[in-house]
Amino acid sequence: MSSRSTHGTDYQPTAEQLQILRTASEFAYQIWESRTVSCQTFLRSYPLDQTLTRQQIDDLIQDYTLDENYQLADEAKVMSGLRHLRTLLMMRWIWQDALHMIALEQLTDELSEFADGCISFAKNYTYQHLIKKYGEPTFINAQGQVQTDDMAIMAMGKLGAHELNLSSDIDLIFVHQARGETNGDKTKGTRSIDNKRFMTRLGQGIIKLLDNNTADGFVFRVDMRLRPWGDGSDLAIHLSALQKYFSLHGRAWERFAWLKARVVGHIEPPFYEAIQALIKPFVFRYYVDYSAFSALREMKSLIQNQVVQREDLDNIKLGAGGIRDVEFIVQAFQLIYGGRHPQLQIKSCLQAMQALYTLEYLERSTYEQLQAAYRFLRRLEHGIQAINDQQTQRLPHDRQWQHNLAITLGFADWEGLLSTLNHHRHNVNVPFERMVTERQIPDHEDTDLEPEQLDEQIARLNEVLTKDNRELLQGFWQSKMVANLSDEARERLDDAYPVIVHALLAHQEQQQLANTALPRLISLLEAICRRSIYLVMIAENPNATIELIPMLSASPWIAKELAQYPVLLDTFLQQRYRHLPDKLELRDILRQQLLRVEPNDEEKLLSVLRLFKKNQVLAVAASDVLAERPIMKVSDSLTYIAAVVLEAALERAFAEIVKRYGYPIGQDGDPVTEADCGFAIIGYGKLGGLELSYSSDLDLVFLHKIKEQGMTTGEKSVSGMKFAARLVQKLMNYLNTQTRDGRAYEIDMRLRPSGNAGMMVVSCHAFETYQMDKAWSWEHQALVRARAICGDKRVTARFCDIRREVLSLPRTIEQVRTEVTSMRIKMQKHLGTSQWQQQAGKFHLKQDAGGIIDIEFLAQFAVLAYSHDHPSLTKWSDNVRIFEEMALLGIWDQQVCQDLTDAYLRIRAATHQLALSEQSLLVDESLWKETRALVQDQWQRLMGVDDAEDTP
């Protein structure tokens, strides 16, 4: 049981204490007001003037995750219990801090201990559930014996250093021991899976328990982006892969990150020692390591670029003289001298500062100024975050909260606080700037790219380049743009140029490739010189730059995207296209990117959605160019990206409209919830058919299952129908609005009931009535390629039922054949190659007879004509699996289905490549005679009529 104080009455604060809480935190005061009895009971057991031990925290976690029978609760109750506990603890910590009843180190330690306790609980809880399904993960150890695999949860950043702040997210990395598989046994009701899948599911379960934002809030926002390879990589990495990563791919900035890495909870000593044996030599060199200064300079430049880009100059963490600068000073000294001085191999910033002073690496005055500044900045950070429990380090702009923050921190007014803040920032900025601007030793240079060899390499490059390209390159260097670069930007361009020359020469045997790439490369350089930090990225990634050249050569589309949005360059230089994440991984990547988007920051939300989509699509394109993925996998990835963006947009849009109007009433008479929101997004066309390309728009239909005339629960109440319309408008704004980052997707809603004349969103009942009674035959064709994408499972399930019922309606084969053929002829007359005199010898891969549309229409004909007798045909919305099902059912000959599938995939692959090279789908007919003839023959045989009377 919990170790609690036994005061006989509930806690009664004084009026002054309540006023202090109200002044310090709107968030904590609302908790007190809305849950007074719970807060009083909690503070009776855990008074404000006492500290919390780890044992007490663990006892609390146990108490709040038990059910009424003192048994471990189900997942929903566990999640709710942890969130209620977090709410009460946050109220207590904020109040203690405002009353100056808790020291900085004690506060950050208790916050970190609570995070550790929750992580350990979440790991154990999820593990027990998983082994009931799959058995325990095992591997064969070095002695040839079977051993249980375990996961070490690495706490990074502030949690790793036991320095968590009030509204921190937690940076985690999951490491397990080795490849292997679980010992599942079907006879015992379990099944075996590989350790990678087990550990991925374990990690996902931990994240879900802690991070999911439910009606009760969240426990901790979980950020996994520090793991090797970052976004899109495996969620858990085994030891040998981590060792390989550190040896071959570990970057300088990652040494700063891993310096604070700490194992959360208990693991067996040999596993712990193996992890430390990898981390220590990666972070700490056995010599005095001045390269840390170079890494520090570039990291600071990256952060300053982000601060300016976000216009976040009031940021006390990232701005000049802020918290990050203090940490950088200390960490740089730790990396430089830590190999020689084990006493510097510690994680706490304050303790490391003390050690640096003791070792005389910091002068007394600098040490005292940094200590004072760090303590002040961290207290100020807590004060800012306490206001509304937001993960921000920006000074408030609201005058009332400026005044409140000043009073809470002991100042008479805001001006007094700012004066002290500026004093401390100055004391931090001076030693930091001295550290990053002084050249400690000459910059390290790749021996293959030494300056004395550069002239020789340029001469070799000139032999490879055409005359026009040599003049183009010379013109770039003589341009006004280069002449007007700042000293810093010009230095970075000079550093990157040998890497660029080296990359071009790596392809000298393929002269056409280098010559095609060069003009596009110069356009890219002209764009990134304006944001010269990207030149640093090129200079630091010579191998990736070599691989960038064939991509630029193969695809002007990729080149233009990079030139227009240089921020996407990181995807290429980090070679993220090597691993295309699946849908679950994509969802997790976007979730983590949205962690730092405040609910009311719509501009940031739109930017995150757009850059996520662009980064992921470009990674797919790079993979496509390198011919590392078949067309089906490419389209799957593009479709998953769209689905994940739609999911996130729907979730945010729903939350925003609910905040404005309250919850709508579901058709069962109760208000809907975030989990069962009463809405769904249906994808038609290429999205529905899992066949998206790079420039595809999204054909969407929106369905709901709410009471249209019922009123929402908010103070500003509106009808359910109005709520639904506002929700779709907000979604369209999130997806379709043109910003500086472009659009997320072009949205086409013309396939909704009644087309452009119809409502933007309709009920499931109205959709069913329309499909059954009013829809044209071509709309039933479109329904073949429709699929529920995201939303309320009840709505998506109802859509699937309606779709199956409509597609399975009794139809005669002749009736379907006539209607499909008629529609095909109409489409071709409007969209096909009609001016044969001007287009002789050309073939439009999509619209002409024998092209993609013919194949798609054959699939739609098959579903509409045969589903009444063979309902399994309605399971699929993509052409390939429809043909597979037709062959399986024996309706069409297997060879016919295979021929159509092969033709379809060949044409689709060609359309993808043409899109990447920005070429028309109008191609040389002679190259496609065999494929086109095959499709036309099958059309004539299956449909009994030529579909192209104007075919030459």
Mean pLDDT of 453-462: 83
pLDDT on residue 837: 42
Is residue 8's pLDDT more than 90? no
Classify residue 310: in a domain, yes or no.
yes
CA dihedral 99, 103, 104, 107 (to 10 degrees): -80
Q: Are residues 92 and 5 in the same domain?
A: yes
Q: What are the CA-CA distances from residue 478 to residues 290, 467, 502 (Å)?
A: 35, 16, 21
Mean pLDDT of 729-738: 94
User: Across all residues in the chain, what is the average pLDDT?
Assistant: 88
As a whole number of angstroms, the distance between CA 313 and CA 308 comes to: 7
pLDDT on residue 292: 57
In the listed set 257, 283, 309, which residue is the last one of a domain according to the structure?
Answer: 283
Q: Are residues 647 and 795 in the same domain?
A: yes
Q: Are residues 660 and 750 in the same domain?
A: yes
Which pLDDT tens digit goes with each residue over 384-433?
A: 999 999 888 999 999 999 999 999 999 999 999 999 999 999 999 888 87
Q: Are residues 849 and 783 in the same domain?
A: no
pLDDT on residue 311: 44
pLDDT on residue 675: 77
pLDDT on residue 293: 57
Q: Count Cβ atoms below 10 Å from residue 733 Cβ, excluding itself.
A: 14
Check: CB of residue 323 under 8 Å from CB of residue 329: no
pLDDT on residue 309: 43
Check: CB of residue 703 under 8 Å from CB of residue 763: yes
Point out which residues pair with 518 in neighbouring strands: none
pLDDT on residue 7: 45
Q: Are residues 250 and 343 in the same domain?
A: no
Classify residue 425: in a domain, yes or no.
no
pLDDT on residue 651: 93
As a whole number of angstroms, the distance between CA 769 and CA 901 comes to: 34
Q: How confident is the model at residue 275 (pLDDT cuts 50, 70, 90)?
A: very high
Classify residue 831: in a domain, yes or no.
yes
pLDDT on residue 946: 54
Q: How confident is the model at residue 437 (pLDDT cuts 50, 70, 90)?
A: low
pLDDT on residue 831: 61
Which pairing describes strands 679-684 and 787-791: parallel, antiparallel, or unpaired? antiparallel
Q: Are residues 827 and 909 in the same domain?
A: yes
Q: How confident is the model at residue 696 (pLDDT cuts 50, 70, 90)?
A: confident
In the listed set 754, 773, 807, which residue is the last one of a domain according to the structure?
Answer: 807
As a whole number of angstroms, the distance between CA 943 and CA 862 comes to: 10
Count the domains in the chain.
Answer: 6
Is residue 383's pLDDT more than 70? yes
pLDDT on residue 838: 46
As a whole number of angstroms, the distance between CA 8 and CA 23 comes to: 29
Classify residue 117: in a domain, yes or no.
no
As a whole number of angstroms, the distance between CA 265 and CA 124 comes to: 10
Is residue 296's pLDDT more than 70? no
Mean pLDDT of 451-474: 85
Token pair of 582, please?
Answer: 């699946």
Is residue 3's pLDDT more than 50? no
Point out which residues pair with 842 in neighbouring strands: 924
pLDDT on residue 448: 45
Mean pLDDT of 750-764: 90
Q: Which domain, by its residues, includes 917?
A: 813-943
Classify residue 142: in a domain, yes or no.
yes
Which pLDDT tens digit goes with each residue over 202-222?
A: 999 999 999 998 888 899 999
What single-letter DSSP state applies at residue 447? G
Q: Is the dihedral of CA 342, 343, 347, 349 positive or negative?
A: negative
pLDDT on residue 310: 41
User: What percent of the chain is modeled with pLDDT above 90?
Assistant: 61
- Structure-token match 């992921």, residue found: 616
User: What percent of the chain is modeled with pLDDT above 70?
Assistant: 92
Cα within 13 Å of Cα(217), Cβ side: 17
Higher confidence at residue 592 or residue 631?
A: 631
Output the 3-class SS for 16-74.
Answer: HHHHHHHHHCHHHHHHHHHCHHHHHHHHHHCCCCCCCCHHHHHHHHHHCCECCCCCECC
Mean pLDDT of 97-118: 96
Classify residue 844: in a domain, yes or no.
yes
pLDDT on residue 36: 93
Which pLDDT tens digit goes with each residue over 541-595?
A: 788 888 889 889 988 999 999 988 888 887 777 666 677 888 988 998 888 788 7
- CB-based contacts of 868: which residues, under 8 Å, 6+ apart? 808, 809, 810, 811
Classify residue 454: in a domain, yes or no.
yes
Q: Are residues 68 and 177 in the same domain?
A: no
pLDDT on residue 231: 73
User: Which amino acid belongs to residue 656?
Assistant: E
Classify residue 434: in a domain, yes or no.
no
Is residue 860's pLDDT more than 80? yes
As a whole number of angstroms, the distance between CA 563 and CA 523 comes to: 7
Q: Are residues 800 and 862 in the same domain?
A: no
Q: Are residues 92 and 241 in the same domain?
A: no
The verdict on pTM exceeding 0.75 is no
What single-letter DSSP state applies at residue 331? H
In the listed set 229, 256, 283, which residue is the last one of a domain according to the structure?
Answer: 283
Q: Are residues 645 and 781 in the same domain?
A: yes
Q: How confident is the model at residue 445 (pLDDT cuts 50, 70, 90)?
A: very low
Which pLDDT tens digit goes with each residue over 303-358?
A: 555 544 444 568 999 888 999 999 988 998 898 888 878 889 999 999 999 999 88
Q: Are residues 778 and 853 in the same domain?
A: no
Domain of 913: which CATH number? 1.20.120.330
Higher confidence at residue 590 or residue 1?
A: 590
Q: Are residues 792 and 846 in the same domain?
A: no
